[in-house]
A and B are shown apart, each in its own frame.
Chain A
Amino acid sequence: MEKLIIELKTEIIKVLNLEDITIEDIGNDDPLFGDGLGLDSIDALELIVLMEKDYGIKLKDANQGRDIFKSILTMAEYISKNRTI
């Protein structure tokens, strides 16, 4: 799980252009949206693409995203249970 968490943080910083942020700055439980990393709706779409491209997960219900994208930890847990690649 720890390896997946670091991989996710690295990829999120890259695809979302979080220029001033390092993987150490992102806590596993920090909220990704709102007060945490401050991601927006376009970033959410980018995360959905990332899940499909890198882990073969297709989100059928957009409302699922609310729970999955709460934090890096919730994302990693969902990916480890549902990944197809």
Chain B
Amino acid sequence: MDLSVIKYCQIKNNACFLNGENIFQSSEEKTADKSLVELYRSRKIKYPKFFKMDKLAKTGFLAVDILLENTELYGTEPKYNTGIFLLNSSASLDTDEVYLETIGDNYFPSPSVFVYTLPNIVMGEISIRHKFFGENIFFVSSKKNNFAFYDYVNQAFIDNQMKYAIVGWVDYYRQKSDALVMLIKKQDKETELKFEKNTILNLYK
């Protein structure tokens, strides 16, 4: 089955790109965490829970929120036909380390940090925000171009009633955000950007 990429959004090096166009650039001296908050404010998003998320969830939340702007998937109408398929190489290690630091001599681990010590929580935050009830899975892989992962996405379109999928890389580790998320659907026209090996490799460049 042929799939096509409708839109893509990238967050990297304190900048954000939508369909390849630079829509946000923060100062390079800013920490990645502060840059994410600046990006959130620049999009005029009103979602106070954003500030409670860990940095991986903030990265994925923002990338997907910007990706879905001006699409029928944006908003809180329940959606059962959209899957979320993400991967990264650092899992939730950044938050795991923060969590470890909250455990002192008298043992007072932080519950609000603990809840983010799994990478798939980012998909939970995205699903809560946009009311997605479709399939989701988070892979941990050393490489962005893990084609077993992309084969899985293709298979999911064959096996399920999926109309759309949010697919891509969402990583955060030690002040480095790196996300590229794509909105995928079954191909209607030959002219659409095909979801295939070369396209994925080009987008990740």
A and B from one complex: yes
Contact B51 A17 (CB under 8 A): yes
Q: Is A34 an interface residue (CB 8 A)?
A: no
Is the pair A49, B108 in contact by a Cβ cutoff of 8 Å?
yes
Chain A nearest Cβ from B168, distance in angstroms? 26
Please count the residue pairs between chain A and chain B whose beta carbons lie under 8 angstroms apart in the complex. Answer: 31
A15 CA / B112 CA spacing, docked (Å): 9
Q: How far is the CA of A16 from the CA of B51 in the complex (A)?
A: 9
Our pick among B37, B48, B106, B111 for the contact of A46 (Cβ within 8 Å) is: B111
Give the docked Cα–Cα distance between A19 and B37 (Å).
Answer: 10
> Is B48 touching A38 in the complex (CB atoms < 8 A)?
yes
Q: Is the CB of A45 within 8 A of B112?
A: yes
How near does chain A come to B178, taking the closest CB pair, in angstroms?
A: 23
- Judge if A29 is at the interface, Cβ distance under 8 Å: no
Chain B contacts for A45, CB-based, 8 A: 111-112
Determine if B52 and A17 form an interchain contact, defined as CB atoms under 8 angstroms apart: yes
A46 and B51 within 8 A (CB): no
The verdict on A11 contacting chain B, using a C-beta distance below 8 Å, is no
CA distance A43 to B48 in the complex (A): 14
How far apart sit A46 and B111, CA to CA, in the bound complex (Å)?
Answer: 6
Residues of chain A contacted by B111 (CB below 8 angstroms): 42, 45-46, 49
Q: A16 touches which one: B52, B109, B115 (CB < 8 A)?
A: B52
Is the CB–CB distance between A20 and B112 below 8 Å? no
CA–CA, A20 and B110, complex, Å: 21
Which residues of chain A are within 8 angstroms of B108 by Cβ–Cβ distance? Answer: 49, 52-53
Please measure, in the bound complex, the distance between the C-alpha atom of A19 and the C-alpha atom of B58, giving whole angstroms.
14
Q: Which residue of B lies closest to A18 (CB)?
A: B51
CA distance A43 to B133 in the complex (A): 25
Residues on A close to B: CB < 8 A? 15-20, 38, 42-43, 45-46, 49, 52-53
Smallest CB-CB A-B distances: 10 pairs: A45-B111, A19-B51, A53-B108, A17-B51, A17-B52, A46-B112, A42-B112, A46-B111, A42-B111, A49-B108
> A17-B51, A46-B110 are known contacts; what are 19 more A-B pairs with Cβ within 8 Å?
A16-B52, A16-B112, A18-B48, A18-B51, A19-B37, A19-B51, A20-B48, A42-B112, A42-B115, A43-B112, A45-B111, A45-B112, A46-B112, A49-B108, A49-B109, A49-B110, A49-B111, A52-B108, A53-B108
